[in-house]
A and B are shown apart, each in its own frame.
Chain A
């Protein structure tokens, strides 16, 4: 029932995450110098941006798994869709939480109606609704319905992104570090790359582990039904 690539990728991602998470923590807290303007609080950047990229990747996984489930009806794709939604919610919460801590230090407020913050709040709401629908939907039809929702939700993300880009620059307070090539010190770049790969591999590990539980749950409930 569980595809063979699932085991291999899960083990590999667990291995990479276990190696890179301590390494990234060591680089971030022991090696990287303090940023001149923001000081120590700038170190949140490495968790914040990495989690944001991983959250977008979770959206992508949910989208692909949703399409595959609707096309082929495999239980493993449904489980993957569910897992990506739950892990995506976790990552969005980390992004919003870390962003709020940084925002309080930089802007002296926990939240501002700034386009990028609103984008992530909306993404978080989409994930919350997805998880709620999974929890409270009708069990017999929830698989295809959640897949439909993940496809529509994923299609909305680029539209929201374009909407934010169209807003006037004056409304945009969020720093655009990567677009403006703001990582001046070489260690900033190293820390950013290592932490991003660590969080990405951790995300893949979590998604695959949760999907494994989902597949086993479905197998168990179908065997109960048969007996």
Chain B
């Protein structure tokens, strides 16, 4: 009895869009379901915002002064909350050798970088919203009167920070003293993002809005520099 050979079709190559979608899904579920990921981000955002609010309230400042320092508090809370989160998001891939496996499968490093940046941006924008809500509540700031401007700021900051931090975390992940080198690199390199984030939030709270501010183009340029830099350089950062 002879069996007829089963028709053999070559596996269909998924489109780049489909690959990117699957990668983003992978990164989101990695951070959402790992215990340290999303939980850590929300907890740190809440904790940092609360500590900063307590410190500010105990200084007995008048309302105008609180409004002027609130943007710096918000951005500080944001940065301290996301550092550990991004580091964790990249460390899981490194530990499980996921990047190596995906590269062996022929996935371009630029797609890996973009997917990670997209997933991390979503989470850290959420973290920024948690920090903003907490500070708004505890310091009676009414931040959400200018929610549209804050949303633009938070989105641009999230893209810039996630592009930069994904690249830096990948560079420092295998280094000894990683816990020192990553913040040491991230703080000076993110200075344009930090400063423009503070100034734009200040413009939206006590100034004439962010749309005419010269800090908005600077923030967009910084985002483009880190995103384009990351897309082109990620390949070398993960070389093994």
Chain A interface (Cβ < 8 Å from any Cβ of B): 70, 122-123, 125-126, 128-129, 132-133, 136-138, 140-141, 144-145, 147-149, 151-153, 155-156, 159-160, 162-163, 166
Residue of A whose beta carbon sits closest to that of B228: A155
Q: Give Cα A68–Cα B215 distance, bound, in whole angstroms.
A: 33
Instruction: Count chain B CB atoms within 10 A of each CB in A70, A123, A137, A163 and give the residue with the most.
Output: A163
Main secondary structure of the interface of A (DSSP, over half): helix
B184 proximity list for chain A (CB < 8 A): 125, 128-129, 132
B226 at the A/B interface (Cβ < 8 Å)? Answer: yes
Q: Give Cα A125–Cα B186 distance, bound, in whole angstroms.
A: 10
Instruction: List 16 extra interface pairs beyond A144-B236, A156-B188, CB under 8 A.
Output: A70-B236, A123-B188, A125-B187, A126-B185, A129-B181, A141-B174, A144-B239, A148-B236, A148-B237, A152-B226, A155-B225, A155-B229, A159-B221, A159-B225, A160-B191, A163-B218
Rounded to whole Å, the gap between the CB of B8 and the closest CB of chain A is 40
12 contacts between A and B (CB under 8 A): A126-B185, A132-B177, A133-B181, A136-B176, A144-B239, A145-B239, A148-B167, A151-B229, A152-B164, A152-B233, A153-B189, A159-B221
A123 proximity list for chain B (CB < 8 A): 188
A136 proximity list for chain B (CB < 8 A): 175-177, 181
A153 proximity list for chain B (CB < 8 A): 189
When A132-B180, A133-B181, A159-B222 are in contact, do A145 and B171 touch as well, CB less than 8 Å?
yes
Rounded to whole Å, the gap between the CB of B161 and the closest CB of chain A is 13
Rounded to whole Å, the gap between the CB of A167 and the closest CB of chain B is 8
Q: Give Cα A153–Cα B189 distance, bound, in whole angstroms.
A: 7
How many cross-chain pairs have Cβ atoms below 8 Å apart between A and B? 91
Contact at B240–A141, with CB atoms within 8 Å?
A: yes
Q: Give Cα A147–Cα B199 distance, bound, in whole angstroms.
A: 31
Contact at A163–B195, with CB atoms within 8 Å?
A: yes
Residue of A whose beta carbon sits closest to that of B215: A166
Q: Give Cα A162–Cα B177 distance, bound, in whole angstroms.
A: 32
Instruction: Count chain A CB atoms within 10 A of each CB in B172, B221, B236 and give the residue with the most.
Output: B236
Chain B interface (Cβ < 8 Å from any Cβ of A): 164, 167-168, 171-172, 174-177, 180-181, 184-185, 187-189, 191-192, 195-196, 199, 214-215, 218, 221-222, 225-226, 229, 233, 236-237, 239-240
B195 proximity list for chain A (CB < 8 A): 163
B176 proximity list for chain A (CB < 8 A): 136
Rounded to whole Å, the gap between the CB of B92 and the closest CB of chain A is 18
Contact at A152–B175, with CB atoms within 8 Å?
A: no
Partner of A137, one of B175, B187, B229: B175
Rounded to whole Å, the gap between the CB of B162 and the closest CB of chain A is 14
Rounded to whole Å, the gap between the CB of A48 and the closest CB of chain B is 21
Residue of A whose beta carbon sits closest to that of B199: A166
The 7 closest A-B pairs by CB, nearest first: A159-B192, A122-B188, A144-B236, A125-B188, A138-B174, A129-B185, A136-B176
Contact at A137–B174, with CB atoms within 8 Å?
A: yes
A70 proximity list for chain B (CB < 8 A): 233, 236
A162 proximity list for chain B (CB < 8 A): 192, 218
When A141-B240, A149-B185, A151-B229 are in contact, do A156 and B192 touch as well, CB less than 8 Å?
yes
Rounded to whole Å, the gap between the CB of B191 and the closest CB of chain A is 5
Residue of A whose beta carbon sits closest to that of B174: A138
A144 proximity list for chain B (CB < 8 A): 236-237, 239
A155 proximity list for chain B (CB < 8 A): 225, 229
Contact at A156–B236, with CB atoms within 8 Å?
A: no
Q: Give Cα A125–Cα B168 distance, bound, in whole angstroms.
A: 15
B171 proximity list for chain A (CB < 8 A): 133, 137, 145, 148-149
Rounded to whole Å, the gap between the CB of A66 and the closest CB of chain B is 9
B215 proximity list for chain A (CB < 8 A): 166
Instruction: Count chain B CB atoms within 10 A of each CB in A138, A159, A162 and give the residue with the most.
Output: A159
